[in-house]
């Protein structure tokens, strides 16, 4: 009898517990659905593997080293950038040679003193002065300066004419130089003029107030170009039949020696 009651009581408790669990579950579900914010936690979860392992190690054999389980997380980030470029420069050079032949005359340096390159001194490329001198007596010095750009030749002797005289004075032959007097640009040549005899042996003396100096060409008597008309002193110069001239010379002193 007591045994039967005990069994029945147990069944009654079991049924009550089951009914109670169903009621609680229904209430929890209803609460979630009606928006009251009650959250169903669900049935209790079994222990995790790591907790079980830990509990197992806790009760393990004391003579063995406990097992340790480590859980780790890692994040790896990798990036790679590759840049490739190429530049090429090319240069092409060509070389050519050419040959040619020509004909022509060879140019040689010009010698301004060579006879073929000289000109005749005359009134167009020189300046001429006529200056009376105190010594020797009755003498006149003619000076010719080359004002041109080329070398010129003073050939032979001056051709003198005072005023309208009709005769030509003759030269002192002994004054003839070894070579023609040549004047480079800027240089001067000279000739001496005997106006009258010192002893009075000359005749036909007169005073000249105008003088013309003519020039010979390459041969005596040939025209050498324009004449010059140097100035004379205002009183003029006295001359007679003794009037004579020297050849053109390179020295004034030599020209006045006769």
Is residue 198 in some structural domain?
yes
Is residue 189 in some structural domain?
yes
Enter the pTM of the model.
0.58
- pLDDT by residue (tens digit) across 169-227? 999 999 999 999 999 999 999 999 999 998 888 999 999 999 999 999 999 888 899 99
Is residue 247 in some structural domain?
yes
Is residue 126 in some structural domain?
yes
Is residue 223 in some structural domain?
yes
Is residue 45 in some structural domain?
no
Domain holding 188, by residue range, is 115-255
Is residue 135 in some structural domain?
yes
What's the total number of domains in the chain?
Answer: 1
- pLDDT by residue (tens digit) across 148-181? 999 999 999 999 999 999 999 999 999 999 999 9
Is residue 179 in some structural domain?
yes
> What is residue 216's DSSP assignment?
B
């Amino acid at each position: 009898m007591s045994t039967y009651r005990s069994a029945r009581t147990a069944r009654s408790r079991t049924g009550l517990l089951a009914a109670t669990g169903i009621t609680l579950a229904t209430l929890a579900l209803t609460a979630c659905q009606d928006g009251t914010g009650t959250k169903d936690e669900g049935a209790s979860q079994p222990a995790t593997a790591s907790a079980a392992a830990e509990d197992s190690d806790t009760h393990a054999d004391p003579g063995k080293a406990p097992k340790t389980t480590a859980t780790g997380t890692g994040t790896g980030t990798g990036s790679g950038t590759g840049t490739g470029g190429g530049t090429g420069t090319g240069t092409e050079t060509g070389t050519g040679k050419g040959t040619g032949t020509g004909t022509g005359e060879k140019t040689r340096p010009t010698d301004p003193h060579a006879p073929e390159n000289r000109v005749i001194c005359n009134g167009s490329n020189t300046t001429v002065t006529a200056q009376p001198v105190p010594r020797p007596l009755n003498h006149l010095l003619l000076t010719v300066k080359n004002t041109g750009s080329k070398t010129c030749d003073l050939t032979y002797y001056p051709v003198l004419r005072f005023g309208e005289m009709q005769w030509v004075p003759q030269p002192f032959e002994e004054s003839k130089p070894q070579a023609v007097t040549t004047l480079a640009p800027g240089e001067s040549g000279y000739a001496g003029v005997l106006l009258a005899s010192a002893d009075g042996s000359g005749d036909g003396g007169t005073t000249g107030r105008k003088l013309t100096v003519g020039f010979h060409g390459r041969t005596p008597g040939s025209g050498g170009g324009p004449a010059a008309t140097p100035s004379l002193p205002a009183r003029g110069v006295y001359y007679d039949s003794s009037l004579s001239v020297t050849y053109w010379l390179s020295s004034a002193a030599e020209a006045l020696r006769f």
